[in-house]
Amino acid sequence: MKLAFIKYRMICVKLGELFKSDKLLSYYLLNMDTEKFALFFERSNSKGIQLNFIDILAAKLYKGFNLRQKIEELESGFPNYYFNREVIVRTISYIVSNGKEVDRNYILSNLNYEHFNMYWDEVCDCYRKVLDFLFKERFIISQKWMPYENMLIPLIIFLRSIHKTDFSQMNENQYEFIKYWYWSSIFAQRYSSGSNEAIIQDASILSNIAQNKKISDKAFFSRLKIQITSPEDILSFSKKGNVIYKGILNLINFASKGLIDWSNSSQLHLNSKLEDHHIFPKEYIKNKFKDNEQILSLIDCVANRTLIPKITNIKIGKKSPSQYLKELMKINPNIVESLKNHLIPIEIIDGAYDDFYIAFLEKRAEAIFKLIEKYIIAKEQKIVDLFYQPPKTKGNIKIFASYYNKKVEAIFDIETQQVHYNGEVLSVSAAADKAKYNLSGKDNTSTNGWRFWKYINEQNQERYIDDFRKIKK
């Protein structure tokens, strides 16, 4: 027992030393599918190094395609831009899967180095051109402040579908659609959840728009409905990570055709180190309105924020708006134009709002809401009129279904709403029951055929034929 206790103490010491060491390796015997393995990999990293499923893919491709090296070459060739590996990989996945898959399970299971050798240069060239377009047209002021990076994928597919892959080849209607889709998607927070589905749907839609095709899925337009319906709604956004917060700052940049600095009225550009400056400085509000709970809760409101260079922001400090703006006027006599450019009421220079923070917020929120009305709300019906085309109500379409991992095909008559299956003309549900029996041998099934049979719509999406029942009604 004495010897065993000595050994126990020695082991305790060595275990302590082990856990203090720089490298602690763990070995796991894994028995899981690709999706679970990717999740395990991402969550089991050490030392705070951020790794994701793209790192697994990089290892898989290494035999014939060095993903890390290709990214380094791309960024060294265009040092002003940051290229997101996931955006490139998911775009390639969309192309390889014929517009059906962008999720990591498909990517890890199906993509190989041959696909990357085939599409890498083309996708990266389109990626760069999309960034050029977004900066040139003032949709984004810097990549750091881009609301959704995944929205780049549908734009890359749009560009890829245009003749000579050049935005100069799009017509005015296509440009109007891009503007509406871009701002509506941001303010509808379309990519905040289920972004893989949104990527596939929007990439298909934008590809068709590039080819001057119409949209037959009216539900697409309802997905772009925004939640902001009044200036008061704007006051609720105060976190810089929020997509609408970022969207508002970028929309001001877009509407002003490019934000300008406050020190010299020069145009801010993609390399500017920008901060979301408090127009009413934080410390000024805390000192001035320390007993006003409502005001203190609105310190970080987006209506009190604008993007300016970091150095300018530091110089402003804790002063009142009128004080620091008058000081800036000494080095920039055109500061009034800068304020207009940033959608800030010019009366702020004279101290009109120093004691009326809420009044200032309401005034600026109204100005911001007018932009949202102009570029989104007022455009909605025009976009629907230009690009919506009701689905056809006559003719036959190919339909299919899967049951017991087997696929069955048939023909659907849109007008009579009957299914031609296996030499018979049946009702939708009767055809579904018969198909199930032929595939499984079980005859006690009762099926809603409208949610059994599917078709491929013009956006290359799988949809239930229930769509056509709604059309008839």
- The whole-number average pLDDT for the span 422-431 is 94
pLDDT value of position 244: 97
Q: What is the pLDDT of residue 470?
A: 63
Residue range 38-55: mean pLDDT, rounded: 65
Q: Which residue from 398, 412, 414, 402 is spatially nearest to 447, judged by alpha carbons?
A: 402
Q: Write the DSSP symbol of residue 26.
A: -
At 455, the amino acid letter reads: Y
Q: Distance between CA 364 and CA 59 in Å, rounded?
A: 51
The stretch 391-404 carries a mean pLDDT of: 88
Q: Does residue 372 contact residue 187 with C-beta atoms inside 8 Å?
A: yes
The whole-angstrom separation of Cα 234 and Cα 229 is 9
Percentage with pLDDT > 90 across the chain: 71
Neighbours of 185 (CB within 10 A): 23
Question: Cα–Cα distance between 432 and 424 in angstroms, integer?
Answer: 12
Spacing of C-alpha 197 from chain mean position:
11
pTM: 0.82
Give the integer Cα–Cα distance in Å for 285 and 298: 10
341: confidence class by pLDDT, cuts 50, 70, 90? very high
Q: Is 353 left (phi over 0), alpha (psi -120 to 50) or beta?
A: alpha
What are the angstrom distances between the C-alpha of 212 and each of 63, 341, 384, 439? 41, 35, 14, 41
**pLDDT greater at residue 178 or residue 312:** 178
Residue 49, pLDDT above cutoff 60: no
Q: Which amino acid is at 226?
A: I
Label residue 135 by pLDDT band (50, 70, 90): very high
Higher pLDDT, 472 or 355: 355
